A and B are shown apart, each in its own frame.
Chain A
Amino acid sequence: MIYIHSVGSLGRVENEALDVKALWKAISPKMIRRTDRFIQLSLLGANAALEGRALSPHTALYMASGQGNLAVFKRLRDQRYIHKQPPKPVDFINSLSNTAGFYVAQHFGITGKNLNVSRLTHVAETLLLLAQNDLELGREKAVLLGGVDELQEPFDFTRKTLGICDKTVLGEGSNWLLLSAQKEDALASVVYEKEIFTLETLANYLSQEERPYRYTFSQSSASLLQETVTPLLELQTAFDCSCGCGYYETAGLYIFAEFVREGQGTLLYIMTEGSNYRLIRIEIFS
């Protein structure tokens, strides 16, 4: 079992404005010049989670993103194919998405392992499983785990590449959790259940819950789970906060952070991929 010590979020849905540059400039004007919006979004979310908190310098930084810094890739594309110019060095460097992790590490003075990963679905959740394993094995003492996705225009193009065939409202966000294997001073525990469930074994797991809990589904599997799993949960209350963030690949961390901020109870977060079901359990400490 691992523990959540702090959470922080920043984001918007597609019809809202979010002046990331102005927000970050107010915090650290000296880091504006070489950072772009994706990096600033990363910094702001991490800052929301860590404001006023001293980190061990060996804290690891695990960062997930559905696509990484796509805006800079588009700039590089335009420089090459439209303007017939070579890549600007700062854009070329920032096109390596772990540059965001570098600036977060630099700003917060941490020098531990620094990861940047992607995955077609459940990237932040999968990274949480890796963090849980590393913390339980004692390979890491603390992990700052974040998920960052920047909304790209045109929205219809983005929806299609996300595999969304309707007009689902998109969002963007930077959500961070500070994790450790130490219960002291923690806000909540979090367990990524290692068992890969079938619908039958998931039903069995849920039937053994003795206390009331709240549940929610990952965004990418919500429609499938509404049909198959909701009937197993009829006595429980849904935790629905996804309308506040819009759809993006790492929004699961927004849901976790919202539940921790709400400050009570147990959350079962259920996902599906193919015929498999996975479950993450968060329990808030009173």
Chain B
Amino acid sequence: MVTLLGGDIYSALGDVNERLVRLEKGSYKTVQKKMVLMGEDLSFAYYSIDDSARNSALSIPLEYLERVVQSAIDKLELSADDLSHCGLFLGSASNDLSLSLPLGQNYDNSQVDSVGCERIGNGYYAEHLSQHFGLHPFSLTYNTACTSSANGVIDAASMLEGGLIDFALVIGFEMFAPISFEGFASMQLLSPDTIAPFDKNRKGIVLGEAISALFMSRDDIYDTPWKYLGGVGRCETHSVTGANPDGVGIGEVIGAVLKASETQPEEIVAVKAHGTASALNDQAELNGMKKVFASAPDFFSLKPYIGHTLGSCGSSELLLLMECVDAGFVPGTPNFKVQDEALEWAPLREMKKCETGKFMLNYFGFGGNNTSLVVEKVVK
């Protein structure tokens, strides 16, 4: 059986002590980011990794990646031999800066001569990490929008189950990207201030950045109380920008993951919803859940804590869930105040005590990507 070992995460929630306090109390912190769009001065909330030393240099993403992976390795006491059997699955919705920076600088084709002869671009970060940490040669970088690292978890489990690797490192990676920020703004999908998933007055997404490193293995190699029971990805071709609000596509993927994980709906202790607070996504998600669950399960969204971290949310939100349950609770959903009659169901408002059980995690993205996972924490 595939096991989830844990790891580490850099996000707006701070270190593990700070984030557990915030997740238990339902508190968070955002910054305001400004932009000029069509001549109009706009300001939107954003969940930023708190680091005053930050700049936009190419070395910074690699430095963060190395730090978070090293922290996870230290925490789990993995050996060099363990790492040599560890495949890498990196999920991100953004282009790798190693190529996008030269492309940006070469907009007028004047910088051709200044570029060195070195293979760069998407996959550069994964290759760097594989070399730096002496990992197994298998690595892939996923670009399936907001399901990127969640799909990495599914494929990591498959490669572990097939015996091709003994450990897997799943990385979710998303840092502030101006084009993404302005792209969401131009589609009028951003909330100016708060993110309030499933609330009647929800105003949209608040973006955030997160870098997470999650290690996985098999119980014959490295057993833990956390088990991966199954994961399913589907492509819903209703619309390139989102799931069908009637919930058909989401209902299908949720039903499929329950079947794959041999889990009955009533066994699910809580659902980590995708919960972006966009009007149609929340509607589609709950309509999808209603096709599978006879009554509302306990569900919550982690996006009010770290924002919508796009390609990183798969592994980042899985890690946060594991940390919460290990601390004895599942979190509530901050900013939910007013019931939306059209949705009927309401998320957990406050944290709820919880130490074990089966959990569902949902992720949906542009490009018709619907992904759902089921994991379990068993009693030791």
User: Please, which residues of chain A bring their CB within 8 A of the CB of B366?
Assistant: 93, 96, 98-99
Q: Which of the candidate stretches B99-107, B203-211, B220-228, B299-307 sits at the interface with the other chain?
A: B99-107
Q: Are B187 and A113 in contact (CB under 8 A)?
A: no
CA distance A257 to B178 in the complex (A): 40
Q: Are A161 and B115 in contact (CB under 8 A)?
A: yes
- Residue B93 at the chain A interface, CB threshold 8 Å: yes
Q: Are A118 and B122 in contact (CB under 8 A)?
A: yes
Known contacts A96-B367, A130-B155, A163-B117; decide if A89 and B164 are in contact (CB<8 Å).
no
Could you list 17 further interchain pairs (A-B, Cβ under 8 angstroms) beyond the known A68-B143, A92-B179, A114-B369? A68-B95, A76-B179, A80-B179, A87-B179, A92-B183, A96-B93, A106-B237, A113-B151, A113-B233, A114-B367, A119-B140, A129-B164, A136-B162, A157-B106, A160-B117, A161-B102, A162-B119
Q: Which of the candidate stretches A120-128, A202-210, A230-238, A258-266 sits at the interface with the other chain?
A: A120-128
Please report the number of residue pairs spanning A and B whose Cβ atoms sit closer than 8 angstroms.
Answer: 204
CA distance A34 to B240 in the complex (A): 10
Known contacts A73-B100, A92-B186, A133-B162; decide if A196 and B137 are in contact (CB<8 Å).
yes
Q: Are A95 and B179 in contact (CB under 8 A)?
A: yes
B151 to chain A, nearest CB (A): 6
A237 to chain B, nearest CB (A): 29
Option from A67, A115, A159 in Cβ contact (under 8 Å) with B144: A115
CA distance A103 to B240 in the complex (A): 8
- Residue A42 at the chain B interface, CB threshold 8 Å: no
Closest residue on chain B to residue A276 by CB atoms: B137
Known contacts A98-B369, A116-B143; decide if A160 and B179 are in contact (CB<8 Å).
no
User: Please, which residues of chain B bring their CB within 8 A of the CB of A87?
Assistant: 179, 182-183, 186
- Residue B171 at the chain A interface, CB threshold 8 Å: no
User: Please, which residues of chain A bring their CB within 8 A of the CB of B137?
Assistant: 196, 273-274, 276, 278
Option from A88, A103, A161 in Cβ contact (under 8 Å) with B120: A161
- Residue B193 at the chain A interface, CB threshold 8 Å: no
CA distance A67 to B127 in the complex (A): 14
Option from A98, A112, A276 in Cβ contact (under 8 Å) with B367: A98
Closest residue on chain A to residue B99 by CB atoms: A161
- Ordered by A's residue number, 10 sampled pairs between the chains whose C-beta atoms are within 8 Å are A73-B103, A87-B186, A99-B366, A102-B237, A118-B122, A118-B123, A119-B122, A137-B162, A157-B115, A160-B117
Q: Chain A: interface residue count, which band?
A: 35 or more
The 3 closest A-B pairs by CB, nearest first: A163-B119, A92-B183, A114-B235
A133 to chain B, nearest CB (A): 4
Closest residue on chain B to residue A76 by CB atoms: B179
Q: Are A111 and B234 in contact (CB under 8 A)?
A: yes
Known contacts A86-B186, A93-B240, A118-B123; decide if A77 and B107 are in contact (CB<8 Å).
yes
A151 to chain B, nearest CB (A): 14
- The B-contacting residues of A in range 1-20, CB under 8 angstroms, are none
User: Please, which residues of chain A bring their CB within 8 A of the CB of B124?
Assistant: 120
User: Please, which residues of chain B bring their CB within 8 A of the CB of A34?
Assistant: 240
- Residue A61 at the chain B interface, CB threshold 8 Å: yes
Interface centre among A127, A137, A139 (most CB of B within 10 A): A139
- Residue B57 at the chain A interface, CB threshold 8 Å: no
User: Please, which residues of chain A bring their CB within 8 A of the CB of B145?
Assistant: 96, 98
CA distance A163 to B121 in the complex (A): 11
Q: Quick one: CB contact mask for B184-215 with A, threshold 8 Å, 1 for yes?
A: 11110000000000000000000000000000
Closest residue on chain A to residue B162 by CB atoms: A133
B28 to chain A, nearest CB (A): 27
Closest residue on chain A to residue B260 by CB atoms: A139
User: Please, which residues of chain A bring their CB within 8 A of the CB of B107?
Assistant: 74, 77-78, 81-82
CA distance A154 to B234 in the complex (A): 37
Known contacts A87-B182, A160-B115; decide if A105 and B100 are in contact (CB<8 Å).
no
- Residue B141 at the chain A interface, CB threshold 8 Å: yes
Closest residue on chain B to residue A66 by CB atoms: B121
Q: Quick one: CB contact mask for B243-254 with A, threshold 8 Å, 1 for yes?
A: 000000100100
CA distance A16 to B182 in the complex (A): 37
- The B-contacting residues of A in range 160-194, CB under 8 angstroms, are 160-165, 194
CA distance A150 to B37 in the complex (A): 31
CA distance A127 to B365 in the complex (A): 21
- Residue A101 at the chain B interface, CB threshold 8 Å: yes
- The B-contacting residues of A in range 130-166, CB under 8 angstroms, are 130, 133-134, 136-137, 139, 154, 156-157, 159-165
- Residue A117 at the chain B interface, CB threshold 8 Å: yes
User: Please, which residues of chain B bring their CB within 8 A of the CB of A157?
Assistant: 102, 106, 109, 111-112, 115
Option from B139, B141, B158 in Cβ contact (under 8 Å) with A137: B158
CA distance A102 to B368 in the complex (A): 6
CA distance A112 to B184 in the complex (A): 27
User: Please, which residues of chain A bring their CB within 8 A of the CB of B140?
Assistant: 117-119, 123, 126-127, 130
User: Please, which residues of chain A bring their CB within 8 A of the CB of B116?
Assistant: 160
User: Please, which residues of chain A bring their CB within 8 A of the CB of B179?
Assistant: 76-77, 80, 87, 92, 95
Option from A93, A119, A139 in Cβ contact (under 8 Å) with B141: A119
User: Please, which residues of chain B bring their CB within 8 A of the CB of A123?
Assistant: 123, 140
Option from B38, B99, B115, B367 in Cβ contact (under 8 Å) with A99: B367
User: Please, which residues of chain B bring their CB within 8 A of the CB of A101?
Assistant: 144, 235, 367
User: Please, which residues of chain B bring their CB within 8 A of the CB of A68?
Assistant: 95, 122, 143
- Residue A97 at the chain B interface, CB threshold 8 Å: yes
Q: Are B235 and A112 in contact (CB under 8 A)?
A: yes
